[in-house]
Amino acid sequence: MLSADTDIPAGNGIITAVEGDRIHLHPDNRDSTRDWFYWHIRVRGCAGRRITLVFDRPCTMTVRGAAVSRDRGKTWAWVPEFTPYALELSYACGDADELRFALAMPYTLANLQEWLGRHAGSPRLRQHELCVSRLGRSVPWLETGCAPGGETAQVLLTARHHCCEMMANFVLEGVLDASLADEQVSGGLRFIAVPLVDLDGVEAGDQGKARHPHDHNRDYGQSPLYPETAAVMSLVQRHTDSRLRAALDLHCPFVVGDDCNHHIYIVGSEDPVNWRRQQALAGILEENVQGPLPYDAGDTLPFGKKWNTGANYGAGTTCARWVFQERRETAVAATLEIPYATAKGVPVTPDSARAFGHDLFMALREWAQRREAVD
């Protein structure tokens, strides 16, 4: 008998009916104050069937359809047959009696733990507790490269302020992989990373975007609602100083529509000093791209264009804006958007995103070495 549920890590979806081979569902928005698009379900009893997922509202699939796992979430691929942004998705299950489907490719604490296991014993990797979440989880932060105190430059990387934006984590993995493999890092560059800021939301499968009364990425004020954002603020103040050269908060954009949702880009600052630094870093990144995902410095979204206006920040201060205020004398700070599914027509996958992370590492290393000449 065909069945569908969300009782899995990062599961999300309201399943309204299972009729024959058709599963009717839509995303569960929970405490988000606006409709959002993340979903992730498990389907069982599907061997030998061609099943169809039927959504009752738009903005539920990407330009590449959706992602599927045939091994209980260990590996993922884009479905081979799809219509961009369609309301229905058909899939031939073959001999698989359990499948998982999602908007894109989930990344949970288990994925991070697997990555940590691959690097266990590395003297360049250090793991710490950022804080304890509201649900009692230990939220990790990581260091790679030079030991604290001996570095010549620092780089801060954060991800999952909006917990559904999972593709950013594969980029972060790529940056850290490259930093652990690079001999020059131990000579002076120190990476500080918070991979899963909203860990509770990640594990629960929340949207995370536009939480009531505001989400984690609008929480960088005098009285943060969330222990994770307060802890990130403390981390920046305690573990960075005038040697902080870059702070990038990794996100994923909206899922459909405007072309800026289908390329990698920096969100431009209204501060002219930060804007100049962002443009310079974007140029260095473009020069360092060797992997499959394209990057064009000209795609940097200036403040005042499209969604990047003052009205977008009315609910509170973002991580990137707050870090720049703290370290404006030395650092570039920015939100970096990584699409869920395609970058200028090239599929975004865990492997291609990690490769872009390697390119980003090369750019950040070069930036840290020559940043003094930018201003």
Q: Where are the domains of the chain?
A: 3-102, 109-373
In degrees and rounded to multiples of 5, residue 297 shows phi and psi of -60, -25
**CATH 2.60.40.3120 matches 3-102:** yes
Residue 189 to residue 118: CA distance in whole angstroms = 22
More confident residue, 188 or 41: 41
Which of 57, 60, 335 lies closest to 171 in space, CA to CA?
A: 335
Which of 42, 39, 38, 50 lies closest to 69 in space, CA to CA?
A: 42
CA distances to 155, 182, 263, 283, 287 from 334, rounded to whole Å, are 12, 24, 16, 14, 19
Which of 88, 86, 89, 54 lies closest to 68 in space, CA to CA?
A: 89
**What pLDDT score was predicted for residue 371?**
61
Model confidence at 187: pLDDT above 90: no
* Contacts of 211 by beta carbon, 8 Å cutoff, 6+ apart: 31, 32, 33
Model confidence at 373: pLDDT above 50: no
pLDDT in tens, 95-136: 999 999 999 999 999 999 999 999 999 999 999 999 999 999
Radius of gyration in angstroms for the set of CA atoms belonging to the chain, rounded to a whole number: 20
Which of 252, 255, 205, 254 lies closest to 42 in space, CA to CA?
A: 205
**What pLDDT score was predicted for residue 257?**
82
Which of 160, 262, 163, 240 lies closest to 206 in space, CA to CA?
A: 163
CATH superfamily of 109-373: Zn peptidases (3.40.630.10)
What's the mean per-residue pLDDT of the chain? 96
Q: Which amino acid appears at position 279 of this protein?
A: Q
Model confidence at 141: pLDDT above 60: yes
pLDDT in tens, 243-294: 999 999 999 999 998 788 999 999 999 999 999 999 999 999 999 999 999 9
**What pLDDT score was predicted for residue 135?**
98
| Residue 279, both tokens | 């443009």
Mean pLDDT within 340-362: 98
**What pLDDT score was predicted for residue 11?**
98
End-to-end CA distance of the chain: 65
Residue 140 to residue 112: CA distance in whole angstroms = 10
pLDDT in tens, 288-305: 999 999 999 999 999 999
pLDDT in tens, 50-95: 999 999 999 999 999 999 999 999 999 999 999 999 999 999 999 9
Q: Quote the percentage of the chain above a pLDDT of 90.
A: 93
How many beta carbons lie within 10 A of that of residue 3, not counting itself? 13
For residues 38 and 27, the answer to whether their CB atoms sit within 8 Å is yes
